[in-house]
Amino acid sequence: MKYVAIIRQVPDGESKIKVDGGRVNLEGATLILDQMDEYAVEQIIRLKEAHGGEAVVVAFGPERTEEAMRTALAMGADRGVLITAEGYVDPVTQAGALAKVLTEEAPDVVFTGGQQADWDSQALGAAVAEALGWPSVTWTTAFELEDGHAKATHDLDEGAEVVRVALPAIFTTQQGLNEPRYPTLPGIMKAKKKEIKKIDAAELGVSGSKVEILEQQIMELERKQKIIDGTKEPAAAAAEIIKLLHEEAKVL
Amino acid sequence: MILVVMDHDGNELRKGALEGVSRARKLAEALGGEVAGLVVGPGAEGVAEKAKDYVSKVYVVSGPDWEAYTAEKWAKAAHAAAEAAGARVVVAPASRTGRSWTARLAVKMDAALLEDTLDSWAEGDKVYATKYSFLNRVLEKQAGTLPAVISVKPNTTPLAEPAGAGAVEPLAVELGELEKKVEVLEKIAETGGKVALTEAEVVVTGGRGMGSAEAFQMIEQFADLLGGAVGATRAVIDAGWRPYAEQVGQTGKTVQPNVYFALAVSGAVQHQAGMNKSKVVVAVNKDPDAPIFKETDYGVVGDVHQVLPAMIEEVKKLKGA
């Protein structure tokens, strides 16, 4: 069997982001393997450990994505394929290029992050699946292989459900799916020698993007920060806060 | 023509459907044509009788094949309706399920996908939208080419008013090979709040400081009293006190209610990504230096086990008055 994780490199949620001239500037930001994609990498390594086969990481992104890909290889993935494109490319266009690579790789199971920590997009997994004519399952919290099918539990808007899916198929991750391992030092050393094949997105027919980002600005709401000390008289503090919510904020 | 896919619960249209109609009307004014609707799934015929008051025509896809939701099927139904209507733009709710099937629809239509938008409009041969990115910390403006698929973030748009009776048209959509590849074996009901988390106007979230699964009974009681939904932090989910479906944050759900209660929540960046656009934030935490207080409008420094019961009593008094 062959398993693929589609990964991305994103700024760490803990690091400050800045905007210059209406554009997010990632200079100085810590860039990491997207935490939602870590679950995907962990899952394909576990599948390989349990059932044998090959675990491959695939990405669509700028050259620097190689760093995140090395992290995935250090965790235990076997090799990588990186489709390179600088700047923003929408998920539908990306899906077309990724589908070409996946058609060639012919995996049985594909995992990718449930939401991207930079574009806040949830579309990529389902879009790639559609481009391939494969089924997809989003927000997967449990997964097992079962006679040529997969049985997966995934979250809906309300509650969850268990589905049986014909393979090949694409699954997007949710917290709870697994606990991603940290790369070990020997893993990091080995990862340096693992193969990363780079393909220019243009060679896969990508020319531009259907969606263009025009302007970005930091958006943090001003908060009133009216803080009441309720350590001595909790009941009085509770009465005061409910009064403020009712009379001042008018939300109760 | 603009197509709006209208979410419902089998009996009534959801709020998201009426937000979608408002967006679709605005786009139709700029791009020309009318607004058509689509209702899919169990109860769709009945709901269509209500949906037709908002659109010029409502397509209905229902029957034995359409009992259970899958992204593959919903994308297929929306594609069929978009073609029947000759729609260049499809508007849908940015619920979790909505964001899954709209990604498929955008590929089917070779369309620009504008995801989880706060607002959207059209000018010339382009559609524009605003949305949050970078874990909800950046506001960005996007432009997309036509055709386009636009998903509408919940609680961002005024609900549409009825505008006279449109026609109801059943649409026969046959399932293909792809749509038969996912079989729903079992539904797992959400426990806790009675209101959908992402649509709730009040969200009451408990953090690790609640101390136990039992302590969430208090959270549930408070949420019920306010007609709100229960949320939980990642630490609470990891401890097994609450189901994943209630998680608010980067790896959970993003909420934007009128008022958000963060009770015994420290306020890590990952949590803030899921709630930092709430209109009013209220926090109770015994640590005066907890990061959540920087994201707070009204806060109480104190023990949640003492403050929350008193807040419950105060709200009861208020409701009784």
CA A153 to chain B, closest CA, distance in angstroms equals: 9
B217 neighbors A2 (Cβ within 8 angstroms): no
Same domain for B33 and B135: yes
As a whole number of angstroms, the distance between CA B95 and CA A222 comes to 27
Nearest beta carbon to residue B282 from set A163, A166, A241: A241
Q: What is the mean pLDDT of chain B?
A: 94
Termini Cα distance of chain A:
56
Q: Answer yes or no: do B37 and B168 share one domain.
A: yes
* CATH code of B310's domain: 3.40.50.1220
- For B292, nearest residue in chain A (alpha carbons): A225
CATH second-level architecture of A2-204?
A: 3-Layer(aba) Sandwich (3.40)
- Residue A13 is predicted with a pLDDT of 83
Q: Is residue B306 part of a domain?
A: yes
Within this chain, do residues B206 and B169 fall inside the same structural domain, yes or no?
no
Helices A35-51 + A65-75 axis angle, to 10: 40
Looking at chain B, the number of H-run helices and the number of E-run strands are 8, 16
Number of independent structural domains in chain B:
2
Burial A120-132 (b: 16+ CB within 10 A, else e): bbbbbbbbbbbbb
| pLDDT score of A82 | 98
DSSP B253: B
Same domain for B8 and B78, yes or no, is yes
Same domain, B219 and B169: no
Closest of A123, A92, A23, A210 to residue B127, by C-alpha: A210
B308 in a structural domain: yes
- Residue A113 contacts B, CB cutoff 8 Å: no
Pairing of strands B202-206, B229-232: parallel
Contacts of A139 in chain B (CB under 8 A): 96
Whether residue B115 sits in one domain with residue B201: no
Residues B94-127: tens digit of each pLDDT: 999 999 999 999 999 999 999 999 999 999 999 9
Residues B302 and B286 sit within 8 Å (Cβ to Cβ): yes
Interface test with A, best of B300, B304, B313 (most A CBs within 10 A): B300
Residue B129 domain-assigned (yes or no): yes
Beta pairing partners, A144:
A151
- The tokens for B287 are 């640590």
Of A120, A127, A227, the CB nearest to B106: A127
What pLDDT band is residue B190 in, cutting at 50, 70 and 90? low
Tell me the backbone φ, ψ of residue A217, rounded to 5 degrees.
-145, 150
List, in sequence order, every beta strand (DSSP E) within B156-228: 167-170, 182-188, 202-206
| Last residue within a domain, chosen from B128, B147, B180 | B180
Which residue is associated with the tokens 């593959």? B72
* Domain region containing B144: 2-180
Give start and end residues of each alpha helix (H) in chain B.
15-31, 44-51, 71-85, 96-109, 216-225, 234-238, 269-272, 304-320
Nearest CA in chain A to B238: A176
Q: Give the model's confidence band at B194: pLDDT under 50 very low, under 70 low, under 90 confident, else very high.
A: low
| Position B321 pLDDT exceeds 90 | no
Name which of A92, A121, A224 is nearest B297 (Cβ-Cβ). A224
Among B199, B198, B2, residue whose Cα is nearest residue B91? B2
B186 burial class (0-12, 13-18, 19+ CB within 10 angstroms)?
Answer: exposed
State pLDDT tens for residues A24-74.
999 989 999 999 999 999 999 999 999 999 999 999 999 999 999 999 999
CATH at residue B73: 3.40.50.620
* Numbers of helices and strands, H then E, in chain A: 6, 15
Give the pLDDT confidence of B226-282 residue by residue, as tens digits: 999 999 998 999 899 998 889 999 878 889 999 999 999 999 888 998 999 899 999
